[in-house]
Amino acid sequence: MNDWRATPHRRYDPLLDRWVLVSPHRLARPWQGEVSESPAPMRAAYDPECYLCPGNARANGKRNPPYEQTFAFENDFAALLPDVPDAHAGGPLLRAQSERGTCRVLCFSPRHDLDVAKMSVPQIRGVVDAWASQYSQMRDLPYVNAVTIFENRGAMMGASNPHPHGQIWANASIPNDMATETRMLRKYRSENAECLLCAYAAREMEAQERVVFSNEHACVVVPFWAVWPFEALVMPRTHMGSIDELAGEQRDALAEAVQALTSRYDRVFDTAFPYSMGFHQQPADGARHDEWHLHAHYLPPLLRSASIRKYMVGYELLAQPQRDIAPEEAAQRLARA
């Protein structure tokens, strides 16, 4: 049998219908590339210059209320706008169309220094409730067909403000990855008479090779087809299509899973671990989507230390995704953290 942890091989990603090259032997190569700066020192609980702290003025002059838990507002510099006129242009080669949408910001806590990784489970449960509430509100807008909840943590991931916050974008169209996952989830259900992620979660729980954390209602795994070094997939263990379907105990379980993963991230290299995360859930197009299973992708860039990250360049941009550390090794390191 081939030693998958030592030799080059490729793994299939059934969600995005692509192959991932795994080269675990490359961790032995010397590194003379970029070494990033260490994260900024510990922040104060309140920053009078922060656009997101309670009571402060934002960049456009609007003032935040003195919020005490979570706080959501329309993004002052939104990438999508709700009042774009309908327009189409071009043919099969040069084609464009207008895109309506809404973007909101969600502050996770009034405290400037309280990242999700440092929050208690009840505090994260408040964030889960806010995610579900915002999803329900934005899904019901008349022009919306897809809602994406996400967070960029850390300057390395392009976060423009260190205050703990995420965003929710609602599109009139269905974004590329959601469209691909819809197609693949539907295809698997049609061919196998079961949900792809239900089957995958059950297999991972049985094998225990890539499980980072689990409880009665949720699990965290490094996916078999992971691209990023410490990539993780967070899933409810019961089939449901969107975050607003989670009941009370299931929301508590999701909060516990998020806390378990993010706190482990910070312990891997003893740093505020940067990542981009996002929930993928069923399209809000009014159609039935029995194939859909809610899940969150966590995509952190760190590879060897707090200051050495993986870059998606060259081969990754021009051929296919590639990773150096085996997913099984990454899962074990996270579980041990």
Residues with catalytic annotation?
Answer: 165
- The interaxial angle of helices 248-268 and 327-336, nearest 10 deg, is 100
Name the helix (H) or strand (E) containing 122.
helix 121-139
Closest CA to 325 of 6, 2, 16: 6
Distance CA 309, CA 39 (A): 13
- The interaxial angle of helices 196-207 and 176-192, nearest 10 deg, is 80
Distance CA 241, CA 224 (A): 22
Distance CA 198, CA 66 (A): 42
DSSP 250-262: HHHHHHHHHHHHH
Closest CA to 139 of 244, 11, 62, 213: 244
Distance CA 331, CA 256 (A): 18
Q: Where are the beta strands (DSSP E) in 6-113?
A: 9-13, 18-22, 71-74, 88-90, 95-97, 101-107
